[in-house]
A and B are shown apart, each in its own frame.
Chain A
Amino acid sequence: MNLTLYVWRQKGPHAPGKLARYEARGISPEMSFLEMLDVVNESLIREGEEPISFDHDCREGICGTCSQVINGVPHGPQERTTVCQLHMRSFRDGDTIYIEPWRARAFPVIRDLIVDRSAFERIIQAGGYISVHTGGVPDGNALLIPKENADTAMDAAECIGCGACVAACPNGSAMLFTAAKVSHLAALPQGRVEAKRRVCLMTEEMLRQGFGSCSNHYECQAACPKGIRVSFIAKLNREFIKALPRGTNTAPPSPSHGTEAKE
């Protein structure tokens, strides 16, 4: 296969970026999308040009590192598939493909297709955990957990933290990411103890990091490679309302009006 690529090239966070045109020749349909980029990079290096920088690691769809918008869709055309698991047989000989980084205010571009997702770290650090020390915990079967709760928790916990939800959202919202963690822990008895405090701290941090609000486009669900459902956003909202009027020492901000409170 021969393809024409338009790839976002940007030297650094403050440098201007542009789409550069490359020809990808002799691509086989068995290649993964990233292997196709490897081929392009190898030829760029041989020609003395700088290769395209992109994030990737496990190449089996679980680490959440890869992050490319392909023809306007985060992770590309295949449903429930990360870029690294996308294969070239999804394209046709002669196709033109546009490749861009995640685009969101909270995810500044570092270089080319690499963005800074550390805002996600700070949302988790704000309270995305159960405050347990190592040691001194009861037996694993001491607290029984109904199977449906364990299954719901697992459905939410499958999130790989790639950020496609944010990239897909017209508002650059991190509601699906935050909702997945809040819902995972809220479904378990161990997580109920801190549930009110957690939802307030995490949503507050989400807004502080510059993510937008949810206005029910559901693009996040469509882009999510793990099929995390928007019903978890409803769950997040429910948890948030339950935390009112007093979840933390500070007055909790409303996630639906948060952006207005920012400068």
Chain B
Amino acid sequence: MILDGKCPAGPLSEKWARQRHELKLINPANKRKYTIIVVGTGLAGASAAATLGELGYRVEAFCYQDSPRRGHSIAAQGGINAAKNYPNDGDSIFRLFYDTIKGGDFRAREANVYRLALLSNNIIDQAVAQGVPFARDYAGYLENRSFGGAQVSRTFFARGQTGQQLLLGAYAALSRQVKAGTVRLHPRTEMLDLVLVDGEAKGITVRNLVTGRIDSHAADAVCLCTGGYANVFYLSTNAMGSNVTAAWRACKKGAFFANPCFTQIHPTCIPVSGDHQSKLTLMSESLRNDGRVWVPLKKRDARRPHDIPETERDYYLERKYPSFGNLAPRDIASRSAKEVCDEGRGIGTSGYGVYLDFSDAIRRLGEDVIRQRYGNLFEMYEQITGEDAYRQPMRIYPAPHYTMGGLWVDYNLESTIPGLFVLGEANFSDHGANRLGASALMQGLADGYFIIPSTIAHYLARTSPGAAGPDHPEFRKSREDTEALAQKLLTIQGRKTVNEFHRDLGRIMWDHVGMARSRESLSTALQLIPELRNEFWENVKVPGQGKDLNQELEKAGRVADFLEFGELMARDALHRNESCGGHFRAEYQMPDGEAQRDDENFCYVAAWEFRGLDKDPVLHKEPLTFENVELAVRSYK
């Protein structure tokens, strides 16, 4: 099937205005008759639930955390982009649009990305009005800083906690609606199934994580704002609870999953220190402005960094990319680190790490200047590693960080299931094959504050409210299926814990579907994943009861889904015979190691239809057409 993104016609800059004019409306008195379910309360979910509540809809908001304020958007550090052009440095909506399209290696929809750039300015205004304490200069004006992939300063920030402050802004708006009675909160509640009635999304089945009770909630439309799937790698910068379950179970009910192989590996994270490691912590990549990346020339060199003379060090980024040096783009820096470690030249006890050395910068600028620039990061590093990076080089290694792929949505953010909308990182829409820094916050909030309130009405206006209740047979069946799945997990009582399976899966994904993939590695993964999945269903040990608080059971359900989803990821990566953005296929590279994109054959969105685990998923394509930008080789030479 050729998918249609349903982008409105007309000039790029008028598409969104035209679309809003053409979308149907619901009159204020009728809005309260409609119930909308919002799953997830990160930036996308909290902003959507708050805004839909303000408009007068009845909103049911769900999150697995104990409070909606704890969605993982809260951990975003750097900032949020907007095309305000306050610094007068030549920025514009079109430039933000162009940078984002190019950064995504020309694998995103023009109309969506332009709308994102257009709405970016409204987000800043909205956040300021909510009391988000963005950084200001001494005259009281908003400050900007520059970020990767752009030559202008367009990033707004609140110290190193921009995600936290934006989320608390959205959470405040949400709390106000809870008080007003338009939004009902369901914390510590996890969505485990999507319920379809006559082919349309009409509710969800959830598990109360405190009592273990399984319930259904009926609604007139469902919004999934459930984040990304980087935890398929086991170790990532995501929160421990971040998972693919809601999206994957929607996929199993008929929503197509788009570009699952587009994952972003961030180059500067603190390396793994042992098998016990449960998560990875990101260090802002601004550190690469002053730090020099190197490894020993000799393999398995156990000397301390200070004892390795200059002539026996390999500053590999400076050597390979003389013009960009240590500031080479994220994907290239990550891949190069992996290469030198695979050669056996990695550092640290695990051999999977490289040095980020500040000694030259400290000699040149003095320790005080470095402290001013990166003091908080050095502190965080010391807190985690116990090492003083002023005295010895930092150890860093790449880590999975963000997933560009997600459920396929059209221009209205509606999936292939009518009535199912997908927002934020959970959808695939705006970042193509690679996301630029400070763009994730922008997308989550654009979707939630400004897009969904307009587009969801267009769907609702065609339905009559309250068509199906939780007593409908489809809901009953969904509850039974969900109960049965939990029961199945509890009765296996094998010998391996859920964490062990998750760790094994992560190893497969990292080794074979990670930073550099090949036909061979992906074929291996496609063999190993089903084997591990089979072992899981025979040998997993989940203690405790279903009707109880049971954190192992929660994890088991999520890992079970990752074990299915990981296979789709590998399959998508295997089918895409090109390298673009975060997807690097070893067979498709230029002689100098740059990614070799194939616009002739792969300039499309790959959307996969699930047809059962025993059948191959079906590939559907949405061709990408570029009318306003020219497809160019993404060169950083």
Cα distance A184–B132 in the bound complex, in angstroms: 9
**Further pairs besides A63-B75, A146-B140, A157-B165: 6, Cβ < 8 Å:** A56-B240, A118-B67, A124-B172, A128-B175, A158-B159, A187-B133
Whether A57 lies near B543 (C-beta < 8 A) is: no
Interface residue? A64 (CB, 8 A): yes
- Which residues of chain A are near B179, meaning CB under 8 Å? 125-127
Whether B279 lies near A59 (C-beta < 8 A) is: yes
Whether A53 lies near B551 (C-beta < 8 A) is: yes
- Which residues of chain B are near A140, meaning CB under 8 Å? 84, 124-125, 127-128, 134, 142
Which 3 residue pairs spanning A and B have beta carbons closest together? Answer: A144-B140, A129-B172, A137-B129
What are 30 A-B residue pairs whose CB atoms fall within 8 Å in the complex? A28-B276, A29-B386, A31-B273, A35-B278, A39-B276, A46-B497, A51-B543, A53-B551, A58-B240, A59-B278, A60-B237, A62-B164, A65-B65, A110-B549, A121-B187, A126-B179, A128-B175, A130-B130, A130-B131, A132-B126, A135-B122, A140-B125, A145-B140, A147-B138, A150-B134, A150-B136, A154-B133, A184-B131, A187-B133, A190-B130
Interface residue? A49 (CB, 8 A): yes
Within B480-506, which residues are at the interface with A (CB < 8 Å)? 495, 497, 499-500
Cα distance A261–B497 in the bound complex, in angstroms: 51
**Which of chain B's residues has its CB closest to A226's CB?**
B161
- Which residues of chain A are near B377, meaning CB under 8 Å? none
**Which of chain B's residues has its CB closest to A64's CB?**
B70
Given contacts A31-B276, A147-B136, contact A87 B126 (CB under 8 A): no
Bitwise interface map of B from 270 to 286 toward A, beta carbon under 8 Å scored 1, else 0: 00011011110100000
Interface residue? A42 (CB, 8 A): yes
Whether A45 lies near B124 (C-beta < 8 A) is: no
Whether B66 lies near A118 (C-beta < 8 A) is: yes
- Which residues of chain B are near A160, meaning CB under 8 Å? 164
Whether B74 lies near A63 (C-beta < 8 A) is: yes
**Which of chain B's residues has its CB closest to A150's CB?**
B136
Whether B277 lies near A60 (C-beta < 8 A) is: no
* Partner pick for B276 among A35, A48, A63, CB 8 A cutoff: A35
Interface residue? B69 (CB, 8 A): yes
Cα distance A160–B241 in the bound complex, in angstroms: 18
- Which residues of chain B are near A130, meaning CB under 8 Å? 129-131, 172
Within A60-98, which residues are at the interface with B (CB < 8 Å)? 60, 62-65, 78, 81, 85, 87, 89
**Which of chain A's residues has its CB closest to B493's CB?**
A48
Cα distance A78–B386 in the bound complex, in angstroms: 13
Cα distance A124–B68 in the bound complex, in angstroms: 12
Interface residue? B135 (CB, 8 A): yes
Interface residue? B368 (CB, 8 A): no
Interface residue? A213 (CB, 8 A): no
- Which residues of chain B are near A216, meaning CB under 8 Å? none
Whether B552 lies near A30 (C-beta < 8 A) is: no
Given contacts A45-B552, A62-B75, contact A134 B142 (CB under 8 A): no
- Which residues of chain A are near B453, meaning CB under 8 Å? 134
Whether A147 lies near B140 (C-beta < 8 A) is: yes
- Which residues of chain B are near A28, meaning CB under 8 Å? 273-274, 276
Whether B279 lies near A60 (C-beta < 8 A) is: yes
Cα distance A144–B141 in the bound complex, in angstroms: 6
Interface residue? B173 (CB, 8 A): yes
Whether A134 lies near B126 (C-beta < 8 A) is: yes
* Partner pick for A62 among B54, B161, B277, B549, CB 8 A cutoff: B161
**Which of chain A's residues has its CB closest to B549's CB?**
A111
Cα distance A185–B172 in the bound complex, in angstroms: 11
Bitwise interface map of A from 105 to 144 toward B, beta carbon under 8 Å scored 1, else 0: 0000011001011101100111111111111011111011
Q: Give, as a whole number of angstroms, the nearest-CB distance from A55 to chain B.
A: 7
Given contacts A137-B128, A157-B133, contact A59 B54 (CB under 8 A): no
Given contacts A87-B384, A150-B135, contact A158 B54 (CB under 8 A): no
- Which residues of chain B are near A34, meaning CB under 8 Å? 278
Q: Give, as a whole number of angstroms, the nearest-CB distance from B8 to chain A.
A: 21
Interface residue? B201 (CB, 8 A): no
Interface residue? B458 (CB, 8 A): no
Interface residue? A38 (CB, 8 A): yes
Within B394-453, which residues are at the interface with A (CB < 8 Å)? 449-450, 453
Most chain B beta-carbon contacts within 10 A, residue among A36, A53, A125: A125
- Which residues of chain B are near A190, meaning CB under 8 Å? 128-131
Interface residue? A32 (CB, 8 A): yes
Cα distance A78–B382 in the bound complex, in angstroms: 13
**Which of chain A's residues has its CB closest to B187's CB?**
A118
- Which residues of chain A are near B551, meaning CB under 8 Å? 51, 53
Cα distance A151–B278 in the bound complex, in angstroms: 34
Most chain A beta-carbon contacts within 10 A, residue among B65, B139, B543: B543
Given contacts A48-B543, A110-B549, A132-B130, contact A124 B241 (CB under 8 A): no
Given contacts A133-B54, A154-B159, contact A32 B278 (CB under 8 A): yes
- Which residues of chain A are near B158, meaning CB under 8 Å? 154, 157
Interface residue? A170 (CB, 8 A): no
Whether B74 lies near A58 (C-beta < 8 A) is: yes
Interface residue? B176 (CB, 8 A): yes
Whether B72 lies near A58 (C-beta < 8 A) is: yes
Interface residue? B544 (CB, 8 A): yes
Interface residue? A153 (CB, 8 A): yes
- Which residues of chain A are near B75, meaning CB under 8 Å? 58, 60, 62-63
